[in-house]
Chains A and B, each alone.
Chain A
């Protein structure tokens, strides 16, 4: 199942034209931007294990470390750097927190369902602490994996739609509404927004998408299959700059269903089964272990050796 197809479908969208149209897919955005960024950060990246297994990941140094500009790897490279694990495919095409997977010491790949109470606990207790204490060392990658309650499926469609619009609509060097700056490699400079005292790392230009994800987790009891898209529209319209009607229309039409199905397929292939959250942990390019349930910050950091 190709996530590429769903990204390319955005070409029909009226807000895309010329230069923007070339950045229709997240993968292409990163690949093209990465090539451009390569020249600007040449010499800033560390050594990279050519074998793609067991070596150190490419790193940025200095002020940009972990904030995106040094992310020069394509999606395929990221997967190869993480040992070709099924959970590590297409990481650049997922909402994430912190540095790019290729630039991070530790990578936490989490398959989560917006409707899953334990996922909400995981986000609240574990992910927030990872962001607070290791904003530049750990990359947290979010996969939509709607297998729990029925409303998780339309919610996942909305997340994918929001992400596609948000990431796809950002041009090179565009100043975003929240003050973050999208650079040429398709990643944002560090977002200094704080929530609950936790410093947010780079959000890959998906600030509104993350707001939506957190909104689902924080208000799970309010949602059901019948009202989730209406409430989503209301939230997006009041709390984000995204075109709420367009996002909800895309979600209702399952415009990005390929992306949702790709996430489900990746989860199944990785062995997530019907359990959420399921997390896969990588350190310095190597798969370490997987964990099921809302495991604690200490478990994650101990498993990653941080």
Chain B
């Protein structure tokens, strides 16, 4: 791999976004990958929200409750089904989770069809990590962020961020978009279901 190839490209042209959209559409057109993307999105969102309320989720699963109470509690920790997240934060979390699912489907497709690139997989991992961090900030502004920042003696500093922690979700979205672009770019010139990727 040349040095030029290792330099990360950014989706700066309209054609780059078209490439991304077309590649995503073609990959998710395969039912297996569509289901995989959906499952990954649900798992990612669940991981984000359960991380905020692990005790409550555990109680919902193993506590002495009726089935409808279990379902009510578990549903209540998700954005829009419960009240733990505001509309903006909830939307950001759902977008991060959805994009994580799309990204995972594309990475798996790329891996199976063309081999695996370190750049693409690295972008996905960073995107997921930032998504988790964003979820932590969003729940009340501090949980995961405080844990991370306290390593540097700055617990509570998250409350001084202008978007009160939403920055991490935005950063996660940007990272995941980049990851999707890099995967799509890596597939450029190939074929998906007989259709050229270009």
What is the interface of chain A, defined by CB distance below 8 A to chain B? 116-119, 121-122, 125-126, 147-149, 273-277, 288-299, 302-303, 305
From B53, B69, B86, B164, A121 is in contact (CB under 8 Å) with: B86
Residues of A within 8 A of B85 (CB): 293
Closest to B140 in A: A118
Contact status A295-B146, CB under 8 Å: no
**Given A125-B83, A295-B76, 7 further pairs, Cβ under 8 A:** A117-B141, A273-B143, A275-B146, A289-B55, A292-B52, A296-B82, A302-B65
Contact status A288-B76, CB under 8 Å: no
Knowing A121-B83, A276-B140, A293-B140 touch, does A299 contact B159 (C-beta < 8 A)?
Answer: no
Contact status A288-B63, CB under 8 Å: yes
Sampled A-B contacts (11; CB under 8 Å): A118-B140, A148-B141, A274-B146, A274-B155, A275-B139, A290-B56, A291-B53, A294-B84, A298-B82, A302-B72, A305-B65
Contact status B53-A292, CB under 8 Å: yes
Closest to B71 in A: A302
The CA-CA distance from A277 to B83 in the complex, in Å, is 12
Contact status A291-B146, CB under 8 Å: no
What is the interface of chain B, defined by CB distance below 8 A to chain A? 52-53, 55-56, 58-60, 63, 65-66, 68-70, 72-73, 76-77, 82-86, 139-143, 146, 155-156, 159, 164
What is the total of A-B residue contacts with beta carbons within 8 Å?
A: 103
B143 shortest CB reach to chain A, Å: 5
B113 shortest CB reach to chain A, Å: 41
Contact status A302-B139, CB under 8 Å: no
Residues of A within 8 A of B143 (CB): 273-275, 292
From A116, A126, A296, B141 is in contact (CB under 8 Å) with: A116
Q: Sort A-B residue pairs by CB-CB distance and give the 3 closest, nearest first.
A: A289-B59, A299-B76, A302-B69
From B59, B60, B84, B142, A274 is in contact (CB under 8 Å) with: B142
A57 shortest CB reach to chain B, Å: 17
Contact status B156-A274, CB under 8 Å: yes
Contact status B139-A118, CB under 8 Å: yes
B75 shortest CB reach to chain A, Å: 8
The CA-CA distance from A147 to B142 in the complex, in Å, is 9
The CA-CA distance from A246 to B73 in the complex, in Å, is 44
Residues of A within 8 A of B140 (CB): 116, 118-119, 275-277, 292-294
The CA-CA distance from A115 to B146 in the complex, in Å, is 17
A281 shortest CB reach to chain B, Å: 9
Residues of B within 8 A of A121 (CB): 83, 86
Residues of B within 8 A of A122 (CB): 83
B56 shortest CB reach to chain A, Å: 4
B74 shortest CB reach to chain A, Å: 9
Residues of B within 8 A of A291 (CB): 53, 55-56
The CA-CA distance from A164 to B59 in the complex, in Å, is 36
Residues of A within 8 A of B52 (CB): 292-293
Q: Which of A148, A149, A294, A302 is packed against the most chain B CB atoms within 10 Å? A: A302
Residues of B within 8 A of A299 (CB): 56, 72-73, 76-77, 82
Contact status A294-B146, CB under 8 Å: no
The CA-CA distance from A32 to B82 in the complex, in Å, is 43
Knowing A274-B155, A275-B142, A292-B52 touch, does A126 contact B65 (C-beta < 8 A)?
Answer: no
The CA-CA distance from A288 to B55 in the complex, in Å, is 10
Residues of B within 8 A of A296 (CB): 76, 82-84
From A273, A293, A303, B84 is in contact (CB under 8 Å) with: A293
The CA-CA distance from A147 to B82 in the complex, in Å, is 24
The CA-CA distance from A125 to B85 in the complex, in Å, is 12
Contact status A288-B53, CB under 8 Å: no
B163 shortest CB reach to chain A, Å: 12
